[in-house]
Structure 1
C-alpha cells in the first residue's frame, strides 16, 4: 500500500501555527513512508474563501519546505463529481430527499430538548419497507439525507486517541446536499478522500465528531476507511485554543518577524510529537524519526520563548553567507546600503551570535553603514577625557601601522593600554562612541577590522577634532 496523506485547509484568510502543524505531520509521515502528500483546498464557504487566503496557505507551506506531490485541488471545482455521487446514492437507496421545512425541524428540536432528549432528525422522510411517506409539499425544496445505519456501531482505532466506538443510534441521517443542491462539508470530504485514495487522515481533534459520519458514508460508497489520527488542540499561552481571536500570529507574521523556517518547523514538530529528549533537529532527522506512535495525547501549549530560543540557536549555527542573504530583505527595509561599506557577510557573522531574529541582525548592522553620525557633545566629552586622548592617538598610530586584522588590532590595543597604564574600557568605550555614537557594539577589535583602516581612522580623527 502506498501511503497517501492530505492537508485540507479552508482558505479563510488566516493560517497560524496550529493550522500548519496539521500540515507538517501528514507531510512528514508521507515523506517517511515514501508516499504522497496532497493539498486540498476546502473552499465551499464562498463568502469567506479567497484566492489571497489560498496564496497565504501555499506560501506558508513553501516557506517551511512542505512540498506537495499533488494539488492543490479545489472542492468548488469538483461540484459535478459530488452531484454525480449524490445522484448515484439516491438511485441505490443510500440517500433520500427530505422535505421537512426549517420551521418543522426547529419545532422538532425544541420539543426534544423540552423532553431532555438529544436534538436529532426523526427520520420522517426516510423510506422504509411498508412505510407510507407524507405527501410531498409543493413549496419545499428538499435536502438530501444519507441513510445512516440504524443499528450497530462505528468503531475505529485512532492512532492518537486509541479505540473509539460510537453507536449508530447516536447519529441521525446527515444532510449531504442543501435545498439548492450544494453538497455539504462532511459529504465532500468523504468523496475527496475516496477519490484521492487517502490512506491516513492526520488532523485536529475538532474533527472527531465528524469521523463516525464520514466512515459510514465512506463504507456505503464501498470505500475502506483510512487510518485516523486526531491531534490534540494547540493552546495559546493563556491555555485557550489557538486562534486569531485569541491573539495567534499568522505564519506570515513569523516570516516578517525575522524567524528562520527551520526553527519554526523544529518548534512545530515538538508541539505534539517527541523523539526521546531531542529538542533540536534538522528537517531530515525529523522525517527519519517521525511516526504516529509518538504523537502526544494531551493538548500542546504554545511557548513563544521556546520558539525564540530555537530561532536564536538556528541563527547562531547558520552558514554566514546563507544567513547574510536571508537578512538582506530586512536590511533593505531599513534602508541599509549593504553593498557600500564593510563586508556584508562579515558584519552578519559578527552580529549573529547575539541576535534572536533576522531583524535584530539587520538593526545591528545599521551601525556599520550609517553615513552621517551625530555625536552628543556631552557624551563625547564624557568618553573622550583629556587623559585618554594621548592613548587614543598612540593607538591610532599603531593601528595605522598594523595589517588591520583583528589579532593585530587587539595587539595594538593591548600594547597601548600597557604603555599608558589603562584598562580596556578606558580605551574601548571612547572608540565605540567615536565610531558609532553608542557604546553598545560587538567586540571592538572585530568591529574595527570590519570597518577597515581608512573609515575607522577617519571617524576617530573626526571625533578628536570635535573633542
Structure 2
C-alpha cells in the first residue's frame, strides 16, 4: 500500500509548535515509508480564516523545510465537489434536510441540559413526512447509524470505541449552503487517497463521525493516530503565556530550524536514549508506534541547549545562511568585514541563539562611538597606555595578518614589558571591540582587520590621554 499522509491546518492563526509537531510527524511517517505528503488548508471557517494566517503557515512549513508532494489544497475552492457529494447523499437517503428553527434547537438544548442529558439533536426531521417549500431555510444532516458502535484502532492509543447512540445527526451543510468542516475533511481524505491521518487528540471525538460518513459513501477508512497535547513547564496547556506563539517567532528569536525540528520530534517520540537526530536519521527511525500517549512538556532551556549544539556542530556555512537574516535585521553591513561563517566559528561557543550572535558581532563590521563605560573605566587607564602603544607598534609591523602573528605580537609585548597577557590583552580588547568581552584576542583582532584595529587603538590612546589630562 502506498502511504499518503496530510497536514491540514485551519488558517485562523499562526502555525504554532503543536501544529508544527503534527506536521513533522505526518511528514516523517510518509518519508519513512517512501510515501507522499499533502498540504491542505482547511479554510471553511470564512469568518476567522485570514490570508495572513495562510502566509504564516506556508512560511513556517518552508522555514522548517517540510516539503509537500501535493497541494496546498484549499477547501473553499472545492465547495462544488462537496455539494455534489451531499446532493448524492440526499438522493440515496444517507442525508436529509432539517427544517428545525434556531429557537426549537435552543429550547431542546436547554431542556436536555436541565435533565442532565448530553445536548444532541433529537432527529425531529429525520423521518418527517412534512412538505416544505423549495426555498424554505434548512440545513442538511448526515443520517448517522442509530445502533452499534464505531471502533477504530488508534496507532498511538490502541482501540477506541464510540456508541452510535452518543453521536447525533451531524450538520453537513449549513443554511447558507456552505458545507461543514467535518464533512469537507471526509471528502478530502477520500479524494486525496489519504491512508493515514496523524493529528491532535482534540480531533478524537470527530473521528467516529468521519468514519461513519466515509462508510456511508463507500469510501476507504484511513488509519488514525492522535497525538497528545503539548504542555507548558507549569503543566498547563501550552499557550501564549508560555511564549508559545507562531513557529516563525522561533526564527525571529534566533533558533535554527534543524534545532526546532530535533526538539519537536523528541517532544513525544523517542529512539532509545538518543537526543540528537539529523533529518535523515529521523526519516529512517521514525515510527508512529514509538509516540508516547501522555502529554509532553515544552522546555525552553532544552531547546536552547539543542540550538547551541546545532550552531556549533552544523557546518558553519549552513549556520551562516540563517545568521545572515538576523544580521540584516540588525542593519549590519557585512561587506567590510569577515565572512559570516567566520563569525559563527568565533561566537558559536558563547551564543545560544543566532539573534544573540547578530547582536554580538557589530564591532567586527561597524565602528563604535563610545566604549563600554565600566570596561573603559577598568581597563583604559593611564597604566594601559604603554602596553597599548607597544602592541600597536607590533601589530602595525605585521606583514602577514594571521591569528598566529597577532597572537605573537600580543605575547611579545607582554614578554618585553614583563607583564601578564591580561595587562596587554584586556586594554586591547576594550580598544578594538569597545567592550570587556569577546572571543580570543588573536582571532578577534585578526577578524576586525589590521587598519581598523590600529585606528581603534589610536582612539583608545586618545581616550587614555584625556583621562590623564583630567587627573
**TM-score scaled to structure 2, two decimals?**
0.92
Asked if 1 retains the 8 angstrom alpha-carbon contact of 2:311 and 2:344, the reply is no
1:411 Cα deviation after fit: 2.9
Any idea what SS the aligned residue of 1:297 has?
Answer: coil
Q: Give the Cα separation in 2 of the matches to 1:78 and 1:394.
A: 77
Matches within 5 A, 1:335-354: 335-354=331-350
1:213 Cα deviation after fit: 0.7
Q: 2:198 aligns with which of 192, 198, 202?
A: 202
Asked if 2 retains the 8 angstrom alpha-carbon contact of 1:258 and 1:359, the reply is yes
Asked if 2 retains the 8 angstrom alpha-carbon contact of 1:5 and 1:36, the reply is yes
Matches within 5 A, 1:58-207: 58-127=58-127, 133-134=129-130, 136=132, 140-207=136-203
Any idea what SS the aligned residue of 1:145 has?
Answer: strand
Asked if 2 retains the 8 angstrom alpha-carbon contact of 1:101 and 1:140, the reply is no
Asked if 2 retains the 8 angstrom alpha-carbon contact of 1:4 and 1:35, the reply is yes
Q: Give the Cα separation in 2 of the matches to 1:376 and 1:144.
A: 71
Q: Give the Cα separation in 2 of the matches to 1:376 and 1:449.
A: 21
Q: Give the Cα separation in 2 of the matches to 1:339 and 1:110.
A: 70
CA offsets 1:161-197 (integer angstroms, 9 cap, x no match): 1101111111111111112222111111111111111
Tell me whether 1:300 sits opposite 2:300 in the alignment: no
1:159 Cα deviation after fit: 0.7
Matches within 5 A, 1:236-385: 236-244=232-240, 247-375=243-371, 380=376, 382-385=378-381
Q: Give the Cα separation in 2 of the matches to 1:109 and 1:325.
A: 57
Q: Give the Cα separation in 2 of the matches to 1:462 and 1:186.
A: 70
Any idea what SS the aligned residue of 1:119 has?
Answer: coil
1:106 Cα deviation after fit: 1.7
Asked if 2 retains the 8 angstrom alpha-carbon contact of 1:343 and 1:450, the reply is no
1:271 Cα deviation after fit: 1.3
Tell me whether 1:460 sits opposite 2:457 in the alignment: yes
Any idea what SS the aligned residue of 1:411 has?
Answer: helix
1:464 Cα deviation after fit: 2.4
Q: Give the Cα separation in 2 of the matches to 1:181 and 1:343.
A: 59
Residues 254, 247 of structure 1: alpha-carbon distance in 2 compared, 3 angstrom cutoff: closer
Any idea what SS the aligned residue of 2:68 has?
Answer: coil
Residues 418, 221 of structure 1: alpha-carbon distance in 2 compared, 3 angstrom cutoff: same
1:34 Cα deviation after fit: 0.9
1:228 Cα deviation after fit: 0.3
Q: Which position in structure 2 is the counterpart of 1:394?
A: 390
1:381 Cα deviation after fit: 6.3
Any idea what SS the aligned residue of 1:176 has?
Answer: strand
Aligned residues: 463
Residues 11, 386 of structure 1: alpha-carbon distance in 2 compared, 3 angstrom cutoff: closer
Tell me whether 1:405 sits opposite 2:396 in the alignment: no
Indicate the RMSD between aligned Cα atoms, in angstroms: 2.2
Asked if 2 retains the 8 angstrom alpha-carbon contact of 1:308 and 1:356, the reply is yes
1:236 Cα deviation after fit: 2.3
Q: Which position in structure 2 is the counterpart of 1:435?
A: 432
- Where do 5+ consecutive residues of structure 1 fail to align? none
CA offsets 1:96-115 (integer angstroms, 9 cap, x no match): 11222121122222222222
Deviates more, 1:140-149 or 1:72-81: 140-149
**TM-score scaled to structure 1, two decimals?**
0.93
Residues 112, 452 of structure 1: alpha-carbon distance in 2 compared, 3 angstrom cutoff: closer
1:201 Cα deviation after fit: 0.4
Q: Give the Cα separation in 2 of the matches to 1:378 and 1:360.
A: 21
Q: 1:418 aligns with which of 407, 410, 415?
A: 415
CA offsets 1:15-56 (integer angstroms, 9 cap, x no match): 211111111111111111111111111111111112222121
1:434 Cα deviation after fit: 1.4
Asked if 2 retains the 8 angstrom alpha-carbon contact of 1:16 and 1:243, the reply is no
Deviates more, 1:176-185 or 1:382-391: 382-391
Tell me whether 1:221 sits opposite 2:211 in the alignment: no
Residues 67, 150 of structure 1: alpha-carbon distance in 2 compared, 3 angstrom cutoff: same
Q: Give the Cα separation in 2 of the matches to 1:406 and 1:28.
A: 44
Q: 1:445 aligns with which of 442, 455, 458?
A: 442
Matches within 5 A, 1:4-43: 4-43=4-43
Asked if 1 retains the 8 angstrom alpha-carbon contact of 2:7 and 2:40, the reply is yes
Residues 136, 324 of structure 1: alpha-carbon distance in 2 compared, 3 angstrom cutoff: closer
Residues 287, 388 of structure 1: alpha-carbon distance in 2 compared, 3 angstrom cutoff: same
Residues 79, 326 of structure 1: alpha-carbon distance in 2 compared, 3 angstrom cutoff: same
Q: Give the Cα separation in 2 of the matches to 1:399 and 1:172.
A: 83
Asked if 1 retains the 8 angstrom alpha-carbon contact of 2:375 and 2:436, the reply is no
Asked if 2 retains the 8 angstrom alpha-carbon contact of 1:99 and 1:137, the reply is no
1:386 Cα deviation after fit: 4.5
